[in-house]
Amino acid sequence: MAAPPAAADQHRPVPRPGAAPESATPATPATPESATPEPATPAPAGPTGAGGAAGARWEAAMAAALRTPTWVRLLPVLLLVADLLMEWSIPSSVAAGFLLTVVPVVVAFSGGPGLVAGSTAVTVGLQALLALRAGHLTEQHHLWTYLATALAGAMGAGLAVQRRRQARDLVRMRAVADTLQHTVLRPVPARAGGLRAAGLYHPAEADVGIGGDLYEVCETRYGTRILLGDVRGKGLDAVRTVADVIGAFRVAAHETAELGELADKLDRHVRRTAERDGDRELFVTAVLVQHRPGADRIDLVNRGHLAPLLLAPGSVGTAACPEDLPLGLGHLAGPAGPPATVPLPPGRTLLLHTDGLTEARDRTGAFYPLAARLATLPATGPDAVVAFLDRDVRRHAGSLTDDVAVLAFATA
């Protein structure tokens, strides 16, 4: 979530370094002059999905959704043992099978309708044997017990069917959410033009998959262009803005020759989005990077974001770049300055990150000491840096409470 311009919040995670792109229906990106892009929503594979691999993935997802704790699966056995112990400890003239009436319903929490039906038949049979032992097989209260157990079995079977239906719907929704996530936030490629790349993206809410941080890497005729940013706000509004800005960047990056003009187009696009939605406080902090193949330097534009870092073994520095107002607020100041040119020789790594990384706190409330920790690295290649940060920030903070996004690049 981005904070006000003076202290912008930057957080949201990025796919694992070198991850292969997922098969997802690409979103139709909005141009800088258009409205929010509407990603296509593919139908997730079901039990009859094409191909054995799709069917196997579906079955694995269903098994995970239906999985229950071990104690739930053992509960029917524990009830049976408890009932038999009572039967052994009380006089033989009393049948203790009443406790077994709930067994079919308990089985429904971990098994399917067939297992519930089988457990119902076994339970009624066991109750009848226990009643026969006490000489009460056909007494009225035992007959009502058999009937209650059968009704519990019917209700348990219905519960098991409903449980499977809900699990199926959950798997489908997760499949759609995963596809949409990888349509909006594509995995960072291992190579992007003349750059080696790696990325890390941890949303604060792991089950959501997308937060208010954003990133994109595009190979264009003007070179490799990179965007990393953070939207002010949280929730679905922030996610919509993320998709909107990324869609605009994907189009404008291929059509705009100058990096500064690309940033200005995104600035105007965010402002129009704010006016359309009636949100006068909407803005996006962002860093834009351009690298031409074979060059040993990069162009940088910083729109209210944390300054990029330049890394080498035992050395951490800040990339010198003027900071202009965030995207969406550029009209409040004069024209932005030209992009800064920063050397990126072999052996150096450029690190972009959001403030979810630097503001991660340990138990004492201390912030994550990013520069100090990076200075200890013996190797600063993109993969090594991202893998180190992934481990180290979680070791420092435990569970992350804000989104974390990191991109690392070095010349190939």
List pLDDT tens digits, range 326-345.
Answer: 999 998 887 878 999 999 99
Q: Three-state DSSP class for 408? A: strand
Residue type, 249: F
Residue 75 is predicted with a pLDDT of: 87
In total, the chain counts a number of residues equal to: 412
Burial 384-410 (b: 16+ CB within 10 A, else e): bbbbbbbebbeebbeebebbbbbbbbb
Ordered by start, the domain boundaries in the chain are 5-21+186-411, 70-177
CATH of domain 5-21+186-411: 3.60.40.10
Tell the burial category of 365 from Cβ atoms under 10 Å away from its Cβ (0-12, 13-18, 19+).
exposed
> How confident is the model at residue 96, as a pLDDT?
63
Report the predicted TM-score, pTM, of the whole model to 2 decimal places.
Answer: 0.67
Which tens digit of pLDDT belongs to each residue from 255-289? 999 999 999 999 999 999 999 888 888 999 999 99
How far apart are alpha carbons 220 and 217 in whole angstroms?
Answer: 10
Per-residue pLDDT of the chain (412 residues; tens, 9 = 90+): 555 444 444 333 444 434 433 333 333 333 333 333 333 334 444 444 445 676 777 777 777 777 888 888 888 888 888 888 887 777 665 566 777 889 999 999 888 899 999 999 999 998 888 888 778 788 888 888 899 999 999 999 999 999 888 888 888 877 777 777 777 888 999 999 999 999 999 887 766 667 789 999 999 999 999 999 999 877 777 888 898 999 999 999 999 999 999 999 999 999 999 998 888 889 999 999 999 988 999 999 999 999 999 999 989 999 989 999 999 999 888 787 899 999 999 999 999 999 999 999 989 999 999 999 999 999 999 999 999 999 999 999 888 888 899 999 999 8
> What's residue 401's pLDDT?
80
